Amino acid sequence: MAVISFIDAITMAMREEMRRDPNVFVLGEDVGVRGGVFRATVGLIEEFGEERVIDTPLAESAIVGVGIGAAAYGMRPIAEIQFADFIMPAVNQIVSEAAKMRYRSNNDWNCPITIRAPFGGGVHGALYHSQSVEAMFTNIPGLKVVAPSTPYDAKGLLKAAIRDEDPVLFFEHKRCYRLIKGEVPDHDYVLPIGKADVKREGSDITVISYGLALHFCLQAAEKLAQEGISAHVLDLRTLYPLDKEAIAEAASKTGKVLIVHEDNKEGGVGGEVAAIIAEQCLFDLDAPIKRLCGPDVPAMPYSPPMEKFFMLNPDKVLEAMRELANY
Amino acid sequence: MATKVLMPQLGESVTEGTISKWLVKVGDTVKKYDSLAEVTTDKVNAEVPSTVSGRVTEIVVPEGETVAIGTLILYIEESGEAGETQAAPAASAAPAAPVAAVAVTQQAAPRLTTAPEGGKQRYSPAVMVLSQEHGIDLSRVVGTGAGGRVTRKDVQAIIDAGGQKPAEVAQEPVVAQTPSTPAPTAAPAAASAPVAHTSAPAEIPVASGDQVIPVSSIRRTIANRMVQSKHEAPHAWTMVEVDVTNLVNFRNQAKGEFTRKEGINLTFLPFFIKAVVEALKEYPMINSTWAGDKIIVKKNINISIAVSTDDALYVPVIKDADQKSILGIAKAVDDLAARTRAGKLTMDDMTGGTFTVNNTGSFGSIQSQPIINSPQAAILSVESIVKRPVVINDMIAIRSMVNLCMSLDHRVLDGLICGRFLQSVKQKLESIGPDTKLY
């Protein structure tokens, strides 16, 4: 099995799906000749031609809107939003059209579109290139929101998203793209959307996270193991709908829960995770449910010290984990 | 001087009571005969009345604690007294505190604080559940968490180690632990051994999703009684079948007018109780009790009847059932059943039974092996009345048949006398007819 980067796993998943199913096609800004600003679609236009790898105007509402129309017609579009920050013009298409098509048409129509969007900070991208926007989409029934953290999960989940009969919003942490590498089989496999994954077994505290922050948690857990603190780490992988069963099971295992995400704290996915635990696990809880998240400020600062202040890192996570373990 | 209020004697055989709820708090003014607390005993729930008028100065027994009859439960300063009485009782009420207070002083202020003001320990839901399920006295557990908090892991380690050890053993490690400040993560396994009395049976694992129901006081009582009876009395079992076709016809014909006149339904149970009572008079040995070196044959015939509520089983008593007509028995059954379901049985209603009739037929059973209502010598269950083909004079007839099942304490009774007793009950039931008197 080859060790490849997160972004290569994304590319591999798209290429395999396009080979498998002629209805799959890619559209987005600079996805064709340029191969995507992050190079996620590199090589696709050479292999599949410009009719299946389409460079679009700078109009996200059109990228998603065209995709929705094609999907309704039986195609399987992969719409790339260049940065998740730019998704706002397409929100109406995603929320009011794609997510509701099956419901509104009484099951006559569905919308198998996949919308890929790189999110998150830590790349000196400042305000317009660093946002975490996932929480906005995690109370929209009809929409699935996926955010993998490893190359293996990225490939399996992206293929599942492309094959899903309903719209899937696929968030890729852009800092993971070339930072995170892992073993990825070069054969075909899919992973179930809606299932969380235990990334590390432990018995003292439970840490629940996703995206880049998940790796900070794993690094911190590794260090804490040397201090005798055993952390159980759950990767949500799908942010909507949440894997309630896995969350409850992981929380009950230790009774001490820390939820970590880069997105702003208030109104973030972590609040919903905490609510699920509060509803289901009261009598297993041994400490208040804690959250470590980005601060509630409008945007990622450009100034490097301030970006560092905003971003999570393994040290911040480690401190929060140790504090909870000692509670 | 404050007046001591003691746990009152709530019934002849009651030895202890559980304070299920305090109805007053320290500082409250109470009048004589005001209710102070709700108390649950083996047999009933009752309220403890105040013996004096005055002001509550101290509650000695916390809610949920079971204490013997005559134990001091609270102090009331009688009206007109001055407040000079606090010192002595306060000292006597202190035992719970020291361990917790010591533990709290161990560590520097943690950032995720548990705020143990004044040495008061707070426990997480997980710790509370585990300690209750395994009978662990948390006041004796040394916590390894922030500020000496008892953590779920501390309690789990005690459970894994086989439960708490007796208090005496616990004292030493508790003291030894106090001077140093353990490294926050190092200690759990070592520190968690000291603990108190054990009542935890072999641990039964609880899987995720299982529902754990704490054992209520009444459930515990039922469990103890059933185990005691099965354990002490060698149960033998026998059954007869009775042709109650005539009884069914008679009751169907009489019930309309009976309901109109008496305002209650005429069920089959009073007929069965009446027949049992008459047979008990013929065979008084059945109406007796094993008393170790002697057998006591009871003069009064008091019939316990089993009444179920959604979550428990009660056996209120029809006193002097031999002096009652079928109407009298019907009224007594109706009254006891209604008051059981309303939770209004008194201690008197629950005591003095000499023989039990259990109406298992009411939930469709056709055969059962009842457990004797100790210390009685026997119990009889009346099963469902069902129509069955039976042979009469070499011909097949459709008759209403019922099974009467009887469990007997073989220390007191033998098969022969019980067989005769059941034959007598059978004969009386089968001879019910238009001439039977309801009043």
Q: Note the ipTM here.
A: 0.79
Q: Chain B contacts of A229, Cβ < 8 Å? A: 185
Q: What is the pLDDT of residue A174?
A: 96
- Short-list A320, A296, A321, A295, CA closest to A309: A295
Given A227, A228, A286, which is nearest B151 (Cβ)?
A: A286
Looking at CA atoms only, how far is residue A152 from chain B in angstroms? 29
- Short-list B177, B23, B162, B30, CA closest to B100: B177
Look up residue B412 and give its DSSP letter: T
| Sequence-ordered list of residues with C-beta below 8 angstroms from that of B213, at least 6 positions apart, any chain | none
Q: What one-letter code names the amino acid at B402? A: V
Q: Residue B293 pLDDT more than 50?
A: yes
Look up residue A60 and give its DSSP letter: H
- DSSP strands (E only) in A185-315: 197-200, 205-209, 231-235, 238-240, 257-264, 290-294
The answer to whether the Cβ–Cβ distance between A326 and B124 falls below 8 Å is no
Collapsed DSSP state (helix, strand, coil) of residue A98: helix
Q: What is the pLDDT of residue B188?
A: 40
Instruction: Retrieve residue A129's tokens.
Output: 């290139």
In the block, tokens 């008084």 appear at B284
More confident residue, B71 or A206: A206
**Mean pLDDT of all residues in B402-428:** 94
d(CA A206, CA A213): 14
In the block, tokens 């909870």 appear at A324
> How many Cβ atoms sit within 10 Å of the Cβ of residue A291?
20
**Mean pLDDT of all residues in A117-141:** 95
Q: What one-letter code names the amino acid at A313? A: N
C-alpha distances in Å from residue A195, one per residue of A17, A170, A218, B195: 21, 15, 19, 42
Domains, chain A = 2-184 (3.40.50.970), 197-326 (3.40.50.920)
Instruction: Retrieve residue B375's tokens.
Output: 């210390």
- Do residues A67 and A79 lie in contact, with contact meaning Cβ atoms separated by under 8 Å? yes
Q: What percent of chain A has pLDDT over 90?
A: 99
**A27, β-bridge pairs:** A54, A79
d(CA A141, CA A101): 11
Q: What is the pLDDT of residue B3?
A: 85
Band of residue B119 on the pLDDT scale cut at 50, 70, 90: low
Q: How open is the CA angle B415-B416-B418, to the nearest 5 degrees?
A: 65
Is A237 buried (19+), middle (13-18) or exposed (0-12) by CB count in 10 A?
Answer: buried
**A307, β-bridge pairs:** none
Collapsed DSSP state (helix, strand, coil) of residue B132: helix
- Do residues B336 and B307 lie in contact, with contact meaning Cβ atoms separated by under 8 Å? yes
Collapsed DSSP state (helix, strand, coil) of residue A62: helix
Q: Residue B168 pLDDT more than 70?
A: no
d(CA A292, CA A217): 11
Given A227, A248, A255, which is nearest B152 (Cβ)?
A: A255
- The architecture CATH gives domain B3-92: Beta Barrel (2.40)
pTM comes to 0.53
Q: What is the pLDDT of residue B11?
A: 65
- Do residues A193 and A145 lie in contact, with contact meaning Cβ atoms separated by under 8 Å? no
- Do residues B375 and B302 lie in contact, with contact meaning Cβ atoms separated by under 8 Å? no
More confident residue, B137 or A44: A44
| Residues of A annotated as catalytic (active site), given as ranges | 129
Q: What is the pLDDT of residue A99?
A: 98
The answer to whether the Cβ–Cβ distance between B151 and A327 falls below 8 Å is yes
Q: Residue B93 pLDDT more than 80?
A: no
More confident residue, B125 or B51: B125
d(CA A231, CA A67): 42
Q: Residue B180 pLDDT more than 80?
A: no
Q: How open is the CA angle A30-A33-A36, to the nearest 5 degrees?
A: 40
- Do residues B140 and B102 lie in contact, with contact meaning Cβ atoms separated by under 8 Å? no
Q: Would residue B134 show up in a list of annotated catalytic residues for this protein? A: no
Instruction: Retrieve residue B272's tokens.
Output: 């069965």
Least confident of A66-75, A277-286, B128-137: B128-137
Q: Which residues of B touch A (CB under 8 A)?
A: 110-112, 114, 124-129, 145-146, 149, 151-153, 184-186, 208, 212
Band of residue B85 on the pLDDT scale cut at 50, 70, 90: very low
Given B111, B129, B146, which is nearest A283 (Cβ)?
A: B129
- Short-list A242, A258, A239, CA closest to A119: A239
d(CA B210, CA B231): 30
Band of residue B13 on the pLDDT scale cut at 50, 70, 90: low
- The active-site residue, picked from B210, B334, B410, B435, is B410
Q: What percent of chain B has pLDDT over 90?
A: 40
Given A248, A286, A323, which is nearest B126 (Cβ)?
A: A286
**Mean pLDDT of all residues in A272-288:** 96
Least confident of A284-298, B71-85, B288-302, B370-384: B71-85
Band of residue B1 on the pLDDT scale cut at 50, 70, 90: low
Omega before A241 cis (within 30°)? yes
d(CA B351, CA B12): 9
H/E stretch holding B58: strand B54-59
Q: What is the pLDDT of residue B27?
A: 86
Least confident of A8-12, A62-66, B48-52: B48-52
Instruction: Retrieve residue A48's tokens.
Output: 């599949």
Burial B66-94 (b: 16+ CB within 10 A, else e): bbeeebbbbbbbeeeeeeebeeebeeebe
More confident residue, B101 or B361: B361
> How many Cβ atoms sit within 10 Å of the Cβ of residue A275?
12
The answer to whether the Cβ–Cβ distance between A327 and B146 falls below 8 Å is yes
Q: Would residue B197 show up in a list of annotated catalytic residues for this protein? A: no
d(CA B35, CA B56): 12
Q: Residue B305 pLDDT more than 90?
A: yes
d(CA A7, CA A41): 9
Q: What is the pLDDT of residue B35?
A: 86
CA atoms within 13 A on the CB side of B192: 24
The answer to whether the Cβ–Cβ distance between B111 and A284 falls below 8 Å is no
Q: Residue B311 pLDDT more than 80?
A: no
Q: What is the pLDDT of residue B107?
A: 39
Is B302 buried (19+), middle (13-18) or exposed (0-12) by CB count in 10 A?
Answer: buried
More confident residue, B178 or A18: A18
Pairing state between β B395-409 and B378-392: antiparallel
Q: What one-letter code names the amino acid at B5? A: V
d(CA A160, CA B415): 74
Band of residue B106 on the pLDDT scale cut at 50, 70, 90: very low
Instruction: Retrieve residue B112's tokens.
Output: 């995720």
Band of residue B189 on the pLDDT scale cut at 50, 70, 90: very low
| Sequence-ordered list of residues with C-beta below 8 angstroms from that of A35, at least 6 positions apart, any chain | A41, A42, A43, A44, A45
- Do residues B321 and B304 lie in contact, with contact meaning Cβ atoms separated by under 8 Å? no
Residue-averaged pLDDT of chain A: 97
- Do residues A148 and A2 lie in contact, with contact meaning Cβ atoms separated by under 8 Å? no
Q: Is the dihedral of CA B375, B376, B381, B382 positive or negative?
A: negative
Q: What percent of chain B has pLDDT over 70?
A: 81
Band of residue B175 on the pLDDT scale cut at 50, 70, 90: very low
Q: What is the pLDDT of residue B12?
A: 59
For an interface test with A, give the residue of B123, B152, B210 to mutate (most A CBs within 10 A). Answer: B152
d(CA B149, CA B180): 16
- Do residues B358 and B306 lie in contact, with contact meaning Cβ atoms separated by under 8 Å? yes
Q: Residue A234 pLDDT more than 90?
A: yes
d(CA A90, CA A102): 19
Omega before B184 cis (within 30°)? no
Pairing state between β B303-305 and B317-318: antiparallel
More confident residue, B174 or A233: A233
- Which residue ranges does chain B devote to CATH 2.40.50.100? 3-92
More confident residue, A269 or B115: A269
Q: What is the pLDDT of residue B25?
A: 87
Residue-averaged pLDDT of chain B: 80
Q: Residue B100 pLDDT more than 60?
A: no
| Sequence-ordered list of residues with C-beta below 8 angstroms from that of B319, at least 6 positions apart, any chain | B300, B302, B352
Q: What is the pLDDT of residue A167?
A: 98
- Do residues B230 and B417 lie in contact, with contact meaning Cβ atoms separated by under 8 Å? no
Collapsed DSSP state (helix, strand, coil) of residue A42: coil
The answer to whether the Cβ–Cβ distance between A326 and B110 falls below 8 Å is yes
Instruction: Retrieve residue B352's tokens.
Output: 């003095």
Looking at CA atoms only, how far is residue B145 from chain A in angstroms? 5
d(CA B407, CA B380): 7
R_g of chain B computed on alpha carbons:
29
d(CA A98, CA A143): 8
Superfamily for the B220-430 domain: Chloramphenicol acetyltransferase-like domain (3.30.559.10)
The answer to whether the Cβ–Cβ distance between B185 and A326 falls below 8 Å is yes
- Which residue ranges does chain B devote to CATH 3.30.559.10? 220-430
- Do residues B126 and A255 lie in contact, with contact meaning Cβ atoms separated by under 8 Å? yes
The answer to whether the Cβ–Cβ distance between B114 and A327 falls below 8 Å is yes
> How many Cβ atoms sit within 10 Å of the Cβ of residue B389?
9
- Do residues B252 and B272 lie in contact, with contact meaning Cβ atoms separated by under 8 Å? no
Instruction: Retrieve residue A135's tokens.
Output: 């929480």
Q: What is the pLDDT of residue B431?
A: 92
> How many Cβ atoms sit within 10 Å of the Cβ of residue A125?
19
Band of residue B169 on the pLDDT scale cut at 50, 70, 90: very low
